[in-house]
Amino acid sequence: MHNVNNLHDIIAIVPAAGVGCRMNSQTPKQYLEIGSKTILEHTLNKLLTHPQIAKVIVVISPEDNLFNTLSIALHDKIKVTLGGKTRADSVLAGLQLLNDQQWALVHDAARPCVDHDDITRLITTVINKKQGGLLATRVSDTIKRAYQDNDTVVDYSEDRTYLWGAATPQLFNAGELKSCLQQALNHHVAITDEASAIEYCGGHPLLIECRRDNIKITRPEDLALATFYLTKQIPNR
């Protein structure tokens, strides 16, 4: 059994090797600026200032020539490694720097608005229950299922009672996550988040409800919303 009691042995992994093609920008989205800092810097600051996170591993593209120009790259709690073509490849690269007994907290580079209290609740719940989990929000919109052969026409409405929108961070035992990600990659299974790799191996991650302002910056209009949320948040303690 891996160590389940150390609340201060949390290593964060931030996959930041993506190009963010939906942002209509030549600059990868994590390097777009909100105020005087890049999105990635805002995100990393949230993790670095959390008292239960011991280290942050930033996984960048081999072609990345921007990260090392940021002052935060010199932070003593940051370690940098190179990622792969997919998110799963990049997270695996980060996991190589952990031992199998450690807790791996994976967080999207483009989620700078995550709340410290939500991170704390995720860590506490997962470790107390000895089961991996993720931050998520209950689905409030009416969800329409389109036809398979015509995805712009409604087939029927889904029952949203048991539907959640996955967010990050997601927290799992490093050895378990490493094994499940590798199995999924070996079988060419599409992995969109870490929980889906655990699910592929038969696991059932815990859902921990988080604030709705923990948005992922994906499209240009998200940038304005994230800017608004960041200016309204209480500074990190």
The pLDDT tens digits of the residues spanning 103-142 come to 999 999 999 999 999 999 999 999 999 999 999 999 999 9
What was the pLDDT predicted at 237? 44
Mean pLDDT taken over the chain? 92
What was the pLDDT predicted at 96? 97
The pLDDT > 70 percentage for the chain reads 92
- Say if residue 158's pLDDT is above 80: yes
CATH of 10-232 given 3.40.140.10, 3.40.50.300, 2.130.10.10, 3.90.550.10: 3.90.550.10
- Say if residue 236's pLDDT is above 80: no
3-class state of residue 1 by DSSP = coil
C-alpha–C-alpha distance, residues 186 and 182, integer Å: 6
Beta bridge partners of 59: 15, 81
72: left (phi over 0), alpha (psi -120 to 50) or beta: alpha
What was the pLDDT predicted at 18? 79
What was the pLDDT predicted at 1? 36
3-class state of residue 12 by DSSP = strand
Q: Identify how many contiguous H helices and E strands the chain contains and give both numbers.
A: 6, 11
Reported as a pLDDT band with limits 50, 70 and 90, residue 23 is low
What is the average per-residue pLDDT within 155-181? 96
Strand ranges in the chain using DSSP code E only, listed in sequence order: 10-16, 33-34, 37-38, 53-60, 78-82, 103-106, 133-138, 144-147, 150-157, 164-173, 206-209
Structure token digits, residue 184: 């999924």
- Say if residue 9's pLDDT is above 80: no
Structure token digits, residue 21: 């093609």
Beta bridge partners of 90: none
3-class state of residue 4 by DSSP = coil
Q: Which residue has better confidence, 76 or 24?
A: 76
Q: Which residue has better confidence, 1 or 79?
A: 79
Structure token digits, residue 96: 């190589």
3-class state of residue 68 by DSSP = helix
C-alpha–C-alpha distance, residues 172 and 194, integer Å: 8
* Residues 237, 117 contacting (CB under 8 angstroms): no
- Domain ranges in the chain are 10-232
The pLDDT tens digits of the residues spanning 180-195 come to 999 999 999 989 999 9
What is the average per-residue pLDDT within 219-228? 94
Name the one residue in this structure whose structure tokens are 């994590």: 30
Cis peptide before 169 (omega within 30 of 0): yes
Beta bridge partners of 106: 13, 170
Reported as a pLDDT band with limits 50, 70 and 90, residue 4 is very low
